[in-house]
Structure 1
Amino acid sequence: MAVPIRAILTFTLAAVLLADPAPRTGGTQTFRQWIAGQEAGGSSRKLTRGPEGVRIESREWAKLERMGVTISQDLWESALKRPDGSLQFTFRVALSQEPVEGQASWTPAEPGKLRVTYRNLPVKTVDLPEGTTLWPGDVDDLLKAAAAARRPVHLRSFNVPTQQPAALDLEPVGADPLPGYPGAVRFRGKASEGPMAQEMEMWIDPAEGDLKSVGSFAGIVMVSQREGLPPLAAAKGDKTFFEPTLKTLPPHPFVPWVRDVTVRWEGKGTLDLPVDAQQRPLGPNRFRLERAAPLAGAECTEPPVKGAPSAEDRPFLAATPLVQFRDPVFDGLVKRLDPPPGATRAELVRRVTAFVYDWIRDKDYTVGFASAQEVARCPRGDCTEHGVLEVALLRRLGVPARGVVGWVAMGEGMGLHFWVEARIGARWFPVDPTFDMVPASAFRLKLGTTDLADLGAVGWENAASTFQDGTWVPEAPWAAAVRVQGDTAYGPGFALRLPGSRWTWVEGRLDLDGRHRVTASPRPGSSSAVRLLQGRDGRRGWFGSGTLWADAGGGEWLRVEAVSEPEAFRLLDALEIRR
């Protein structure tokens, strides 16, 4: 399950790019950043003047520990203002190993247009909202003037690297000196970038500009302040940046097999979620979640898009900075995928989902957010890496595809997740390459979709903040639908029988013969199992590290723990799975 690493840089950009003034007389300004009481990054700004004009060079960086691994992300931008007033931006965003690089330009002749170019992609024209401030030096002037006059700040800006509009709305609270800055004025209000909004306090000096910003994301306090101010004391015992992205659930051994479930929100506020065939409201903060109906009829024969796409499909077949499927590396991937001639959309979706699951051998949390072209070269990562690669391959093959941001239930917990929808027939069909699920499992809360058009379009920020003050709880029968009787365990819509064995069912845990824990599982990957088995009835299985994975049919698998290899063969031969 992914976590919103990019939100760290988003906070830095909202709190720093919007508000950090560029030095007006040259030199460099440096800021340090703390997240949950731990220093985790910073930013710097440098202004120079030359024959070509005034240049402001900025950098923001973040570094956090996650699952024992250090994740680093970095953004660099150079803004040039020429004597004729035109602006030129060059930027590089490194969310993982391979940075995304681009350029943008603006001219006074077209004040509402920004031209953006990325390597190997056509020029993109962005319509700027009226009153947008692009030049960082103008931000500096506005903040200083507001502090000097003790008047409100109402700033509309645009984050060029992430292609997101930004806003800063502050009211002066009063004089609040900081060490070395006796004229500092404290402001309070809101800062936003794209869908992310947060309450913020900011200290601004009439002569020096921005000094310090304090905001929060998903309940985690974030502080950015000028180098030289007293550093924050290291906090102990605070929740980490990633804790709000994980929630516990009542245990259920067959979560991936659940066909439908009713859930209710227990927390603050009323949540408004998208509505589709898989997610229907039953009242305030109560939803019915269902697995998508299998593809059938004309859906199974629909061909991929050939030639120019329709206006409706165009955004979901486009190459973007995150899914540059025209990169030569995809030639090799498509050759390995080997789609049969005349393959339908349904066939391509099944084939691509299984291929992506197998291609990403190292399924871990070491990657912040890699582009599809990076994943194609370096198959490592979590759900975001699986998702962007699936979207890229489907689009390359002519199947409209988009990403989905939300929460998924697996095992005994819920976590932030990213999966994929493909347009087949009249619907968006959900699949999950992280677990090789076609269709995707039922127990997932969809918060929104993304066409992955730019670096700011993923939506992690909104996903994390939505669930910071509560969780979703499954209503009965939930695990109570599971029962055991002698050599048979019954669940909703299925039965597991192993002649001569005994099942035990205690507090949501299902055991076989008192020592083998049994759960539903995703298909084993090549890194988790080492040997393919086959039962007498032709049932497939994998065995490795004391675990048996038995094919339950329909793309579903059963996991049996703490078994020897002879026991694995016996179980695979004798196990009966009835539906």
Structure 2
Amino acid sequence: MTKKLIPIFLFIITINGWATSRFSVYINGQKSGEIIVKRTFNKNFVITETEESLTLKRGGAIIKSKNLYKTKELKDGTPVELNFRNLEGNSSILPEFQILFKNNSAILITPMGKQSIPVNLKEVKQDYGEEITLKKMIEKGIKQASIKKFDQNILNFDKITITFKGKTKKGYKFILKSGTLNTEEERLTDKNGNILISTMNFAGMEFKVVNQKLEKKKTKTKGAEIFSPSLIKIKYFVPRGFSVSEITYKLVNSSPYDFTIIETDNQKVKILDNKSCLLTVSRVKLPLNAKPDRDENYLKSSPIINLNNKKLKEITENIRKNSKDTYSFVKNTITFVFNYIQNKNFDNVMADTDTILKEKNGDCTEHSFLATAIFRKAKIPARCVVGLVMGDNIFGYHMWVEVKLNGKWYPVDPTLNQINPDPTHIRIDEFPITPSTMKNIYKIILPLIRSLAIEPVKVKFENGKTIGNPKNFFENLFGAKNWAYDNRYFTYTLSKKEGIFKETIYLASLYSKDTRQLGINLSMFEGWEKHYNQDIKGKYVMMYEDKNKIGFAFVHNSVLIVFVAESLRPVKIEKFREFIYNKCLEVIEKCQKEF
């Protein structure tokens, strides 16, 4: 869910100045990493090579990337040639590319071929050219200027407007605004335009890069949970399992950015005012008689989706051999991708399919890219879409896939292994597999997540029953005193400790009828002395006993309901069992009546 932040640092800064420079990275005021810049000069003291290394500590994980830029520039910083190569990690859409600047156009050369991009070469500044511009503004007192800079994260040119704010006690202050990514950086430099401090607010977080020469004392790198501020927490249980057919949300946008929620076959919008709406998302089931459409726009190869990969061809053919029809091919592909990407992490930043097939790691982006590649190789039109999805108690950024069958687009989610994605998938935009797609993430999606309020207001089940107010529904249903979220469960305490029993109820959603998830959730009973099964009111109930505790668990409308009672003083086991049976009967009857 919301995750791709390494490229921000590479976008903010082309750090220049010294042969070797070290910068500390701060996220929300906490030191979280380091950037090391090594530069090579020719005999005329012109920079010919820049190596940027980023080490970022995110919680307990260490994320590293290293990029090498080889440039040929004129005296004013206008580039003649730019070569980019990724040395470690994966902080760019492509691991390597070359640009030749000639006749007011830039020829982008990638492993997939050539692309001509029209651009006024006098406006283009790369590497040291950016510092030359800032130095000239300082010397001549120029208040505003603009440059165009090639950004490897969008594989296109970004127009940057530079405003000179004047001299301060610490250095020379500039404001740099991106025209493409809609971001703003405050930069403090020395008289030669070299960066001293760079500050940028993005997706609700503050990113600061400080030249270590300015730091009076060294501070320990603690690391930051850089994605958590971009997540929207839901503080109560909302059913979203396989029996949930529809969820209605109230969305309120407090950001300065306008955004549009597009209506689809399974997404309907009712506008409340210019900042809020009701959004109803329905679960769409893939048709058993599915037939692929012929849509050439979504069958193409691209720099990210390489359909000529031999391994991809082999995988596609194997899945086809084990699939009797289009429906089973789509289902088998989703399962294959889910299992193939073994290391589910954030190490790759927008990896291409060649890298994914080789390294077998990634998050929702890599799952979606690989699934899209297999579908397109099999002549099934496919595209990636981005938006939000609910996981446990949070909404966060997510990407999934849509396939075009029987004239309609159907969502599938390889990251969550859902062929019929649950209705917490809120679709915001299509994500074309082209070099310019990153700007949609930076400009729209991530800033939106931080400033969007989401409140589920109605849940509908396949049996036709609805929950009209999820926020209070289960508290009222079970007489809960308070709630908490712990690991996989929403936990409700039902009575105070001074009673005979301490009663706690746990709620979780089951996403499929596969019993593996049920077993994982019931692992809380491991080590208990006794367990047995009972049929109560037509429900298959699992009973557990251990010393002074008894618990039961059952599934109703894809909601796993677990109840645990702990005796606070000695009580006969017969009385304890009678109490727990009556409590189970009461809970089942309430559930069957209300949802």
Per the normalisation by structure 2, the TM-score is: 0.72
Partner of 1:520: 509
Q: Which amino acid aligns with 1:15?
A: I
Q: Give matches, 1:400-439, under 5 Å.
A: 400-439=381-420
1:474-501 per-position Cα deviation (integer Å, ceiling 9, x unaligned): 22x45xx79xxxxxx99539xxxxxxxx
Q: Which amino acid aligns with 2:400?
A: W
CA distance in 2, matches of 1:221, 1:405: 24
Alignment of 1:263 onto 2:261: no
CA distance in 2, matches of 1:142, 1:282: 47
Aligned partners of 2:510 and 2:558 also within 8 Å: yes
CA distance in 1, matches of 2:121, 2:478: 66
CA distance in 2, matches of 1:510, 1:57: 53
1:336 deviates by 4.3
CA distance in 2, matches of 1:281, 1:95: 44
CA distance in 2, matches of 1:46, 1:391: 39
Alignment of 1:105 onto 2:99: yes
Q: Give matches, 1:239-278, under 5 Å.
A: 240-256=225-241, 257-265=244-252, 267-269=254-256, 271-277=258-264, 278=267
Partner of 1:192: 178
1:8 deviates by 3.2
Partner of 1:223: 208
Partner of 2:315: 333
CA distance in 2, matches of 1:131, 1:218: 33
Q: Give matches, 1:156-555, under 5 Å.
A: 156-160=148-152, 162-178=154-170, 184-187=171-174, 189-192=175-178, 194=180, 196-230=181-215, 240-256=225-241, 257-265=244-252, 267-269=254-256, 271-277=258-264, 278-283=267-272, 284=274, 285-291=276-282, 293-295=284-286, 300-303=289-292, 305=294, 310=296, 313=297, 316-339=298-321, 343-344=325-326, 346-364=327-345, 369-454=350-435, 457=438, 459-461=440-442, 462-475=444-457, 477-478=458-459, 491-492=465-466, 504=478, 506=480, 517-523=506-512
Partner of 2:13: 16
CA distance in 1, matches of 2:291, 2:302: 25
1:144 deviates by 0.7
CA distance in 2, matches of 1:236, 1:160: 28
Partner of 2:141: 150
Aligned partners of 2:146 and 2:161 also within 8 Å: yes
Q: Taking structure 1 as reference, are residues 290 and 505 closer, same or farther at Cα in structure 2, changes over 3 Å only?
A: farther
Aligned partners of 1:157 and 1:166 also within 8 Å: yes
1:124-143 per-position Cα deviation (integer Å, ceiling 9, x unaligned): 33344676414433323211
CA distance in 2, matches of 1:156, 1:65: 32
Unaligned 5+ segments in structure 2 are 468-476, 484-489, 495-502, 521-532, 534-538, 541-550, 565-583
Secondary structure (helix, strand or coil) at the match of 1:337 reads: helix
1:454 deviates by 3.1
Secondary structure (helix, strand or coil) at the match of 1:351 reads: helix
Aligned partners of 1:217 and 1:465 also within 8 Å: yes
CA distance in 1, matches of 2:324, 2:381: 17
1:557 deviates by 5.7
Aligned partners of 1:265 and 1:472 also within 8 Å: yes
1:233-289 per-position Cα deviation (integer Å, ceiling 9, x unaligned): 859999842222222214235224251313221634574223122142423321323
Aligned partners of 1:43 and 1:60 also within 8 Å: yes
Q: Taking structure 1 as reference, are residues 239 and 473 closer, same or farther at Cα in structure 2, changes over 3 Å only?
A: farther
Partner of 1:115: 108
Aligned partners of 1:361 and 1:379 also within 8 Å: yes
Unaligned 5+ segments in structure 1 are 179-183, 483-488, 494-502, 541-546, 564-570
Aligned partners of 2:188 and 2:198 also within 8 Å: yes
1:218 deviates by 1.9
Q: Taking structure 1 as reference, are residues 85 and 378 closer, same or farther at Cα in structure 2, changes over 3 Å only?
A: closer
1:86 deviates by 3.6
1:172 deviates by 2.2
Secondary structure (helix, strand or coil) at the match of 1:522 reads: coil
1:337 deviates by 2.3
Q: Taking structure 1 as reference, are residues 352 and 198 closer, same or farther at Cα in structure 2, changes over 3 Å only?
A: same
CA distance in 1, matches of 2:123, 2:410: 38
Per the normalisation by structure 1, the TM-score is: 0.73
CA distance in 2, matches of 1:387, 1:224: 32
Alignment of 1:138 onto 2:129: yes
1:104 deviates by 1.4
Q: Taking structure 1 as reference, are residues 274 and 343 closer, same or farther at Cα in structure 2, changes over 3 Å only?
A: same
Q: Taking structure 1 as reference, are residues 49 and 281 closer, same or farther at Cα in structure 2, changes over 3 Å only?
A: farther
1:321-367 per-position Cα deviation (integer Å, ceiling 9, x unaligned): 433343233244325424567843x5433332232223334545565
1:227 deviates by 4.2
1:421 deviates by 1.7
1:35 to 19, 24, 27: 27
CA distance in 2, matches of 1:560, 1:259: 21
Q: Which amino acid aligns with 2:157?
A: P
CA RMSD of aligned residues (A): 4.8
Rg larger for? 2
Aligned partners of 1:292 and 1:429 also within 8 Å: no
Partner of 1:568: none
Q: Which amino acid aligns with 2:183?
A: Q
Aligned partners of 2:284 and 2:421 also within 8 Å: no
